[in-house]
Structures are given as structure tokens and as C-alpha cells.
Structure 1
Amino acid sequence: MAETPDVPTETAALPNGGAMPLLGFGTWQLRGDDAVRATGAALEAGYRHLDTATMYRNEAEVGRALAESGVAREEVFVTTKCPPDRADRALDTLRASLEQLRTDHVDLWLVHWPVGGAGRDVELWQRFVEAQQEGLAREVGVSNYDPALIDEVTDATGVRPAVNQVEWSPLLFDAGTVAAHRERDVVLEGYSTLKGGTLEHPTVVGIAERLGRTPAQVLVRWHVQHGIVVIPKSANPDRIRANADVGGFELSADDVAALDALGG
């Protein structure tokens, strides 16, 4: 691995003219000093996209790491999420997130998962639109939504989610899902990419061994080449750096097709 990670620079275009780095650092399950150290290590390695959530209970630690990193706030794309059980106090939840994160806005605020119930997802999405109008969130999006629900909230408000974050890996690849998001001009973002047996899958391991890369690097690179956002998480500084070191190689078309086929 290179001493300085070769971090991919590709981004996804967002509705308001912003750019979302395809590589982000996930912070789920990182708490306390571990969260501060890991987030700091990610920023030092060159990540410029941090993903957290109210329910992760680590926004203060992520905010501290960013503040202490020496990296300018405007250089880092910050995402947080609102749990649907706070739908009736969504804007207060976001303001609390901003205080914890030590910033006056997030670059992306996501509905963490659907609320359910007649009209309730639309009601919450209206609060998200208000947050964007107030400048508290530059972009707003959703997580764990299907295309029909994306259409429902878009049709009701005239504002489409900029991003949909879903569980994603070669084992879950579905060309129809990719196409549905592209047709709607919604950025697809994957989470839990390194879970579910992906790191041990013989196809992934075989490609990694042939290229002299780690299975995690193959999985991150696969996302980047598809134009899908990926947010690998680790508490280990060496793995954090390795997971970002994917800018210096490409998967062949055959390798991408072999990985895509795992979702079949």
C-alpha cells in the first residue's frame, strides 16, 4: 500500500450544484474516543466525506474530530440522518445534530428509514424541504426507500430526494435498482458493503489476489466505477487508509461483470 493513500476523486452531482464524493467514511457503531480517533484517521488519510446519524450517538465525536483535524469545514461533505420516530420534531433534531457536529449546516440530511402510515412519509419529507429552504441542509435525501416511495414524496412536494442510501454490495447488485435511481436522477449510496460475506466471497478474493489488492479495496473500487457512493467503516487506522487507497487501479470490464453477476 502506498504511504499516502491514492484516494479516488470522483464525485456524484447533486441537484443544487454540489458534488458528493463517491468515497465516504462510515461511522456506524463507532463511539466515544474510538469515533474521534477513527474519524480523525480518515480525514488524515484523505477522506473528505463523513457519514453519521442521530441514532449513531456519535455526532459530537465526529464534529470534534473534524474541528481538530485542521481540515477546513468547507472541504468536507458531512451527512447525518434523522430517525423517523422523531418525525414530529425533525427540525429540532437537525438543529441538535448541527450543534453536536459544530457546524451551521450539513451537506446532506437523510430520512434514516421510512416512517410508514398514510401520508406520514410525505409529512416528514416536507420538514426536510423546509430545512433545505432554511439553509440547515444543502441537500436532502432518504435511506432505505424504494422507487415508489421516492416518487410519492417527490410528487407531493415537487422536491425529489437527492440521494437514497441503501444496503448494497455485489451480492445485492440489481441493475433494475441502479436504472430506477438514474431515471429519477437520484444518487445511489451503499452501506454495509463490507458485510454479509462479501470480503470472503471467492470471486471477490480471486480478483483481489490477482490484482494485489485487498477484498475491501476491490469492493470500494467496484462502487466507484459504477458511480455509486460507498462509505466503508473501520476503527483500524491501517484499514481506514487501505480502504481509501483505490484511486490507482481499475477493475476490468470482465471483473465488474463478474462482481455484478453475484447479485443474480
Structure 2
Amino acid sequence: MPAKSHIELNTGANMPAVGLGTWKSKPGEVEHAVEHALRFGYRSIDTAAAYGNEAEVGKGLLESGVPRSEIFLTTKLDNPHHQRVADALEDSLKKLQTDYLDLWLMHWPAPMTAEYKADKSLDWLDTWRTMEKIYKAHPEKLKAIGVSNFSIKFLERLLEVAEVIPAVNQVELHPSCPQGELVEFCRSKGIAVTAYSPLGSDNSPLLTNEVVKKVAEKYNVHPANILISLQANRPNVNVLPKSVTNARIEANFKVVDLTEEDISELHGIDKTHHFRACHPDWTGWGSLGFPDCE
């Protein structure tokens, strides 16, 4: 099926199908990466308070010269900030040097202390209710709200009480972690899915996987382009490749139209090689109920 240029959120907004991720992008590099990506043609930038790079991302946005109105900007509420949601939003806006966010996500359903210990005096549902209130009261600051790293179990609990349906659920997706059931559940509820770690993280074995290499040779592209394109070809899904290297930033922006056979073969990798790149065992919270990537 063909790759798309955008996906439509349940707010009516269009979110680019390919954006620049900034997780693990080092200080001193991410500012340039954001600036270069935007000048090259990217129009979606993703960051998070937990990444510690919002200020540099903000500088890159400004130095790119691309009008803010043309950029879809996403950041996330950090785990220790569930008790100070409104202030956390203001902090992010200030660091990013912007008046508004196109999308603000709850990074994990795991309230924590400043020491990153579980804070079980707080319920992440209350955090969502506060995000809803801010979203309704300040549409000039928040264009959409959503979640990240939510399994079906957590989404079901959220949807029982939510007044605002999350616009997006950002989760790990790649051939060894396709999460088809979760993607379909989100689609059925009108929630878009953003794929992070589409390559399977740094030095991923997926880049040398024989199936990935075969499909890449078919289209005369790098294996990374196939892994990124796989997500861009899935309905209701967009994708966040990450790099701080100019050539790789440019290369990652190229997506190809995959056939149903290509997609089936790539998703078949999970039957023999499955793993999750980001599966933290949060102190006091366990693994948050995530199953293995089956």
C-alpha cells in the first residue's frame, strides 16, 4: 500500500508521516540536527522533557528559519512532573521558545518522584484529567493532547473516563515489535499511532536482517529506508527516525511504497526475532504491563 505524507488526527489536524525524533540525541548535536532537518524538508519534530534537550530543540527550530506555523511540534510530560502538570507545560514552552505545542503527550503512565521512584500517591488518570482541563481552557497553547507508551490495558482504563480521546499514542514499532493488536485497537478508537525506534534502536540487528536487506535491494534503498517506510505504509501510523548526521537525516526522509507482500514478509520477522528496545523496569512500577512484542 502507498506511503502517505500525513495522517489526520481526531482533532482534524494533519501530522506529517515522517518526523525527526530526538531521543538520545546528545547536547551540542540535536540543535543542528533539528535545524538541518527542517531546512531539508521535515515538518515534524519530536522531543520530551525527559530527553533534557528541549532548549536545544527550540534553538534549532528558530535557527532553521522555517515559520513556526509550518512545524508540527511534539513534547512530553516527564514522569516526575505528574504533580505539577501546568508548570511543566510552561517550562516546556519556555525552553522550546514557542507559544504553543501541536501535541503534548503523557510520556508514561507512571508518576514518579524527582529521584525516579514510583509515586503511588498519584494516579496517572488524574494527570490526564489535568491535561484535559488545560487543553480545554487554553487552546492557544495546546492543539492536541495524547499519550505515549500506553498498552491496550492502560488505554482501556483511560477511555473509560476520558472526556478527550487521546489524539496519539506514541509507542515502539518495528518488524521485531509490530504490536499489531495495539495499532488496530488505537485505530478502532480514533487514536493515531506514532512509531518510535523504527530501526530497532542503535546498531539494530534489523539493519542486517536478510528479509529487510532483500526488500531494500528490491527498491535500491538502504535497509533503514525500508524500516522507516514500513511504518509510513501502515494505516493510522506515522514514524520518527532519529539521527544527528546530515546525510542520514536526509536519507531517512525517503519513503517507498511497499506491497502487501513486502509488509507481510517484514512483519513475519517477529515470529523468529522479537525484541523491544525500550522496555524499562521502572522502580516500583514494574514493566507497566507491556507484553513482549508479539
The residue number in structure 2 matching 1:166 is 171
In the TM superposition, what are the counterparts of 1:18-97 in structure 2 within 5 Å? Answer: 18-97=13-92
Conservation of the 8 A alpha-carbon contact between 1:150 and 1:161: no
How far apart are 1:54 and its partner, in Å?
0.2
How far apart are 1:59 and its partner, in Å?
0.8
Conservation of the 8 A alpha-carbon contact between 1:173 and 1:262: no
Q: Find the aligned partners of 1:118 and 1:261 in 2 and give their Cα distance.
A: 42
The residue number in structure 2 matching 1:223 is 231
For residue 259 of structure 2, the aligned residue among 233, 240, 252 is 252
Q: Find the aligned partners of 1:21 and 1:107 in 2 and give their Cα distance.
A: 12
In the TM superposition, what are the counterparts of 1:135-174 in structure 2 within 5 Å? Answer: 135=139, 136-174=141-179
How far apart are 1:219 and its partner, in Å?
1.0
Q: Deviating runs (4+, > 4 A) in structure 1?
A: 116-119
Q: Find the aligned partners of 1:202 and 1:239 in 2 and give their Cα distance.
A: 21
Q: What's the secondary structure of 1:190's corresponding residue?
A: strand
Q: Find the aligned partners of 1:9 and 1:224 in 2 and give their Cα distance.
A: 6
How far apart are 1:256 and its partner, in Å?
1.0
The residue number in structure 1 matching 2:196 is 191
Change (3 A) 1:45 1:71: same
The residue number in structure 1 matching 2:124 is 121
The residue number in structure 1 matching 2:185 is 180
Conservation of the 8 A alpha-carbon contact between 1:63 and 1:101: yes
Q: What's the secondary structure of 1:170's corresponding residue?
A: coil
How far apart are 1:126 and its partner, in Å?
0.9
TM-score using structure 1 length: 0.92
Conservation of the 8 A alpha-carbon contact between 2:173 and 2:179: no
How far apart are 1:16 and its partner, in Å?
1.8
Q: Find the aligned partners of 1:65 and 1:52 in 2 and give their Cα distance.
A: 12
Name the aligned partner's letter for residue 205 of structure 2: G
How far apart are 1:118 and its partner, in Å?
8.2
Q: Find the aligned partners of 1:58 and 1:175 in 2 and give their Cα distance.
A: 31
Q: What's the secondary structure of 1:152's corresponding residue?
A: helix
Structure 2 unaligned regions, length at least 5: 112-119, 272-294
The residue number in structure 1 matching 2:249 is 240
Q: What's the secondary structure of 2:171's corresponding residue?
A: strand
Conservation of the 8 A alpha-carbon contact between 1:170 and 1:259: yes
Change (3 A) 1:102 1:237: same
For residue 210 of structure 1, the aligned residue among 195, 218, 226 is 218
Change (3 A) 1:222 1:262: same
How far apart are 1:155 and its partner, in Å?
2.1
C-alpha offsets along residues 144-170 of structure 1, whole Å, 9 cap, x if unaligned? 111222222232232211111111101
The residue number in structure 2 matching 1:111 is 106
Count of residues paired in the alignment: 255
Q: Find the aligned partners of 1:57 and 1:174 in 2 and give their Cα distance.
A: 28
Conservation of the 8 A alpha-carbon contact between 2:6 and 2:14: yes
Q: Find the aligned partners of 2:157 and 2:142 in 1 and give their Cα distance.
A: 21
C-alpha offsets along residues 58-77 of structure 1, whole Å, 9 cap, x if unaligned? 11111111111111101000
Q: Percent identity?
A: 35
How far apart are 1:50 and its partner, in Å?
0.2
How far apart are 1:220 and its partner, in Å?
1.1
Conservation of the 8 A alpha-carbon contact between 2:4 and 2:232: no
Structure 1 unaligned regions, length at least 5: 1-7
Conservation of the 8 A alpha-carbon contact between 1:31 and 1:61: no
Q: Find the aligned partners of 2:74 and 2:9 in 1 and give their Cα distance.
A: 13
The residue number in structure 2 matching 1:100 is 95
